[in-house]
Amino acid sequence: MGPDAIVADYLVVGAGAAGLAFADQILTETTATIALVDRRHSVGGHWNDAYPFVRLHQPSSNYGVNSRPLGYGGKDTSGYNEGLDELASGAEIVSYFEAVLQQQMLPTGRVQFIPMSEYRSTGEIVSLVSGAVRRVKARKIVDATLHSPAISATHKPVYTVAAGMICAPVNDLPRLFRPEGRIVIIGAGKTGMDACLWLLANGAAPQRITWIIPRDSWLFNRANVQTGQDQFINLARLIADEVECIAQASSVDNVFERLEARRAVLRIDPAITPRMHHCATVTEGELAALRSIPHIVRLGRVTAIEAQQIVLEKGTIPTDRDTVHIDCTASAITNAEARPVFAGNQTFLQNLRVCQPIFSAALIAHVEASRTEDAEKNAICVPLPMPGNPVDWLRTMAVELLCRLRWRAIADVAAFMASSRLDSLTPRMANLRSTDSAELAELDRYIRNIKPALMKLKVLLAPA
């Protein structure tokens, strides 16, 4: 071990939102020391390279690290999110994480941040600037990279682009935007939707946009996941609807049709059955705007942008050198296989609640801080893969519903959740009074339907 060796109780690999949420909780609950290492120049992970008009999809109040609120707790007063909880911009998120590091973590004297450096499986950290190699002596290595999303700025599209054609990552859209000419948005995940919405919000005529939708998605309705005690009724209704619709459904598709009838999930085109589910969240206003785009292309994935045509899996459409093609094909959903969270001296941060990597990282840290045996810790922290399609979402629900029941029965875990600002559900559940009859009725409907839902999931998922 050389003099430059990095010595800490925990080495957290990846200083994105997940790694920071874990580190923050460990700092709160223990006296341990932490080394945070990241390839990037700063903390905050992918948000450092996000497109300029990116915003959270979910309220700021439930994002970030447990010990520090994000945002001002207000509502948007204009735009497609009007009347709903504010959504932090990429710039706000980056500056928030910088403040977490500089104002909270480093002053403890228990955290060191090692930027521009890569952790290698040999157990060494290599500086991407100088090439210097440092050894690590840590009690635990925490892998906070498993759910790191692919993003447009650093992702290479799989299709080819002929010389002279304009094709750029979504990050360049504001720079390439001009008053005339056609714009082709390639991809229909949340980034593709954001690109279309940004164009429309800035006055682009819908007719100018061609939107390539390789696969349609089910979308969550943001109105149901608002924060504040007065909004809890919507969330309580949502979780009750989810289990009730599963319990009553006759097929996987029928689960979603039932949820759609209650406006719990939405889709771009009611005539098309979505085959994708990535937890993207929209408002009804955003949905109406997206539906105003007349030129929608559903011919599969793009394979080539040629001088006069775009070649897709199932056909071609015309294009030309003046058209701006915007790549939104990086998938925010990574397909890392689920593995035990706790494995000896290694910890793998993964989702414990579907599509909630940050809450999950903080809960994993609480369990790490309060227990010693891996078997006991893994019984509480059961990893869920990221959902890619409707069946995946139901699979994750089958596991998560059991975990929710288990967590309620473990006193310190239930107490952690009830006090965690990253948990959108439990603190407000804990705050209910006997006079909150509408909310209590929804929670009762939720509890009553969990068992029937679990039984139905066995039937629905058997063929899969």
Ligand X SMILES: Cc1cc2nc3c(=O)[nH]c(=O)nc-3n(C[C@H](O)[C@H](O)[C@H](O)COP(=O)(O)OP(=O)(O)OC[C@H]3O[C@@H](n4cnc5c(N)ncnc54)[C@H](O)[C@@H]3O)c2cc1C
For residue 58, the minimal CB distance to ligand X (Å) is 4
Measured from the CB atom, is 141 or 450 closer to ligand X? Answer: 141
For residue 125, the minimal CB distance to ligand X (Å) is 8
Pairwise CA distance, residues 190 & 79, whole Å: 17
CB of 383 closer than 8 Å to CB of 339: yes
Measured from the CB atom, is 362 or 457 closer to ligand X? Answer: 362
For residue 206, the minimal CB distance to ligand X (Å) is 23
Measured from the CB atom, is 281 or 389 closer to ligand X? Answer: 281
Measured from the CB atom, is 61 or 389 closer to ligand X? Answer: 61
CB of 184 closer than 8 Å to CB of 319: yes
Measured from the CB atom, is 330 or 457 closer to ligand X? Answer: 330
Measured from the CB atom, is 39 or 298 closer to ligand X? Answer: 39
Residues forming the site for ligand X (CB under 6 A): 13-14, 16-19, 37-40, 45-46, 50, 54, 56-58, 63, 118-119, 144-145, 147-149, 151, 190-191, 332, 356-358
For residue 98, the minimal CB distance to ligand X (Å) is 13
For residue 333, the minimal CB distance to ligand X (Å) is 9
Measured from the CB atom, is 40 or 258 closer to ligand X? Answer: 40
**How far is residue 134 CA from its own chain's centroid?**
32
For residue 191, the minimal CB distance to ligand X (Å) is 6
Measured from the CB atom, is 328 or 380 closer to ligand X? Answer: 328
Three-point CA angle 40, 42, 46, nearest 5°: 60
Residue reference for tokens 């593709």: 192
For residue 129, the minimal CB distance to ligand X (Å) is 13
Backbone φ, ψ for residue 169 (5° rounding): -65, 160
CB of 190 closer than 8 Å to CB of 57: yes
Pairwise CA distance, residues 224 & 219, whole Å: 12
Measured from the CB atom, is 50 or 276 closer to ligand X? Answer: 50
- Structure tokens that stand for 450 in this block: 């969990």
For residue 419, the minimal CB distance to ligand X (Å) is 19
CB of 138 closer than 8 Å to CB of 10: yes
For residue 361, the minimal CB distance to ligand X (Å) is 8
For residue 57, the minimal CB distance to ligand X (Å) is 4
Measured from the CB atom, is 43 or 167 closer to ligand X? Answer: 43
The angle, 0 to 180 degrees and rounded to 10, between the axes of the packed helices 284-291 and 190-201 is: 80
